[in-house]
Amino acid sequence: DAKTTQPTSMDCAEGRAANLPCNHSTISGNEYVYWYRQIHSQGPQYIIHGLKNNETNEMASLIITEDRKSSTLILPHATLRDTAVYYCIVRPYTGTASKLTFGTGTRLQVTL
């Protein structure tokens, strides 16, 4: 799986957009970008994934650059409950059961 680089931590004011970057300069053509988050002492939560087009769902938006070497997860109106560690994972579509490799992620702190 391609290696990813994320900032160790970020702060965001409640109500503002949180923009979490991820670099994946060695990504291959068949690899997807996945985002998960883990709130303290809970299981990871799937957020969104994409291949090359921008994606949006009820939780977030995913912006992937044209060369696919980086991406940004956007939480449009962050709340205190969005405080968590956010993981960017790049992996190929396998069609079979396979492990997820979580790096160290970005610790997002949403403040009043």
Partner 1 sequence: DGGITQSPKYLFRKEGQNVTLSCEQNLNHDAMYWYRQDPGQGLRLIYYSQIVNDFQKGDIAEGYSVSREKKESFPLTVTSAQKNPTAFYLCASSIVGTDTQYFGPGTRLTVL
Q: Look at residues 33, 3, 4, 6 and name the one whose alpha carbon lies nearest to residue 20.
A: 6
Check if the beta carbon of residue 2 is closer than 8 Å to that of residue 28. yes
Single out the residue of 25, 26, 30, 45 in contact with partner 1 (rule: CB under 8 A).
45
Q: Is 98 in the site for partner 1 (CB under 8 A)?
A: yes
d(CA 58, CA 9): 24
Residue in 14, 44, 52, 109 binding partner 1, rule: CB under 8 A: 44
Selected binder of partner 1 within 2, 19, 32, 72 (CB under 8 A): 32
The answer to the question of residue 51 lying near partner 1 (CB under 8 A) is no
